[in-house]
Amino acid sequence: WALFAEDVEAILELKRTRNAVILAHNYQTPEIFHCVADIVGDSLALAREAMKVDADVIVLAGVYFMAETAKIMNPSKTVLIPDVEAGCSLADSITPADIRLMREAHPGVPIVAYVNTNAAVKAEVDICCTSGNAAAVVRSLGVPRVIMLPDQYLARNIAAETGLDIITWAGQCEVHELFTAADVRQLREDHPGVTVLVHPECPPEVVAEADFAGSTAAMSHYVGEKRPPRVVLLTECSMSDNVAVHYPDLEFVRPCNLCPHMKRITLKNIRRSLEENLHPVEIDPEIAARARRSVERMLAI
């Protein structure tokens, strides 16, 4: 605590003087998640909550596409991302030009973009989804065939869940692609009775071996509701740290892969972002308006 106290206190004071709120993703480190964040959640919750923020400033403790989504949904606010290099391998895997080529190649097939995309990509697609609502989004379209991009694993997992014909893109999350089905089998051998929860960005063969697959918020709810005595969350490292705090009676087995982008956000750069107004997210208004339409369609489901 001694390591963090000065920055935590400075951030709490800066939030008051600047009328700011901090939105933090479930993968942020515990000192951010538990000590300075006002709102925490998965990508879906952060998009919804960003719309409702009444403060002057939103600091997004997460990755760049999340800060962009907050700006898209609440454009009159100052949205700060403490490190502009906090990217995402999925968002980096696809461009607006790629979307236009997909449309030409598959005329009339609706395009669903994962929120892990940049604003210019969101502006080109028909609707967005998150890992928390992807199945509901594709079903809502009422057609047998959809394009879902850029995460090929999420798309294949949703195809298996819904039985729909889903055209994929060759993107992957650099964190979740590392988990294997052999890892799950080994965990079960090493930790008898363990309940295995996985994120749907994991490859389908990993999901097939798991007890449950869901968004970071869905994993959290599963633990709260079912109280598995021994549990493993196959996802980013901080997730178990953040959830385990609430359940000292449960045993969390903790193999994990770190997201280097999420870990670029620290107490120090959150403090600096509030002190020096770093780094405000700006989006071309025409692109932002079209991207907003895709996010709003998703939120309406």
Query: Which residues of this chain interact with ligand 13P, rule CB under 6 A?
Result: 26, 42-44, 116, 130-132, 173, 199, 201, 215-216
When CB distances are held under 5 to 8 angstroms depending on the partner's kind, the choice from ligand 13P, ligand SF4, none that residue 261 binds is ligand SF4
Q: Between 43 and 74, whose beta carbon lies closer to ligand 13P? A: 43
Nearest to 90 by CA among 123, 72, 63: 63
Cβ closest to ligand SF4, residue 199 vs residue 272: 199
Shortest spacing between CB 44 and ligand 13P, in angstroms: 6
Binding-site partner at residue 124 among ligand 13P, ligand SF4, none, CB < 5 to 8 Å by type = none
Which residue, 65 or 222, has its beta carbon nearer to ligand SF4?
Answer: 65
Find the shortest distance in angstroms from Cβ 101 to ligand 13P: 25
Taking a C-beta distance cutoff of 8 angstroms, is the pair 195, 211 a contact? yes
Minimal distance in Å, beta carbon 238 to ligand SF4? 10
What does the binding site for ligand SF4 look like in residue numbers (CB under 6 A)? 63, 88-90, 116, 173-175, 201, 236, 259, 261-262
| Residue 130 near which of ligand 13P, ligand SF4, none (CB within 5-8 Å, type-dependent) | ligand 13P
Closest distance to ligand 13P from the beta carbon of 126 (Å)? 20
Phi, psi of 3 (to 5 degrees): -65, -30
Q: How far apart are CA 278 and CA 59, in angstroms?
A: 9
Residue 166 near residue 150, CB atoms below 8 Å: no
Please report how close the Cβ of residue 132 comes to ligand 13P at its closest, in angstroms: 6
* Total residues belonging to the chain: 301
Indicate which of ligand SF4, ligand 13P, none lies near residue 122 (CB less than 5 to 8 Å, by partner kind).
Answer: none
If contact means CB under 5 to 8 A according to the sort of partner, which of ligand 13P, ligand SF4, none does residue 89 touch? ligand SF4
Q: Which tokens sit at 248?
A: 């000292």
Smallest distance from ligand SF4 to CB 40, Å: 15
Which one, 53 or 237, has the nearer CB to ligand 13P? 237
Torsion, CA 114, CA 135, CA 199, CA 112, rounded to 10? -10
> 60, exposed or middle or buried, with CB in 10 Å at 0-12, 13-18, 19+?
buried
CB-nearer residue toward ligand SF4: 90 or 295: 90
When the beta carbons of 68 and 236 are compared against ligand SF4, the nearer one is: 236
Distance from C-alpha of 93 to C-alpha of 103, rounded to nearest angstrom: 17
Residue 42 contacts which entry, ligand 13P, ligand SF4, none (Cβ below 5-8 A, type-dependent):
ligand 13P
| φ/ψ of residue 15, rounded to 5 | -60, -40
CA dist list (Å): 171 to 116, 125, 209: 11, 16, 22
80 or 173: CB nearest ligand 13P: 173
To ligand SF4, the closest distance from the beta carbon of 197 in angstroms equals 15
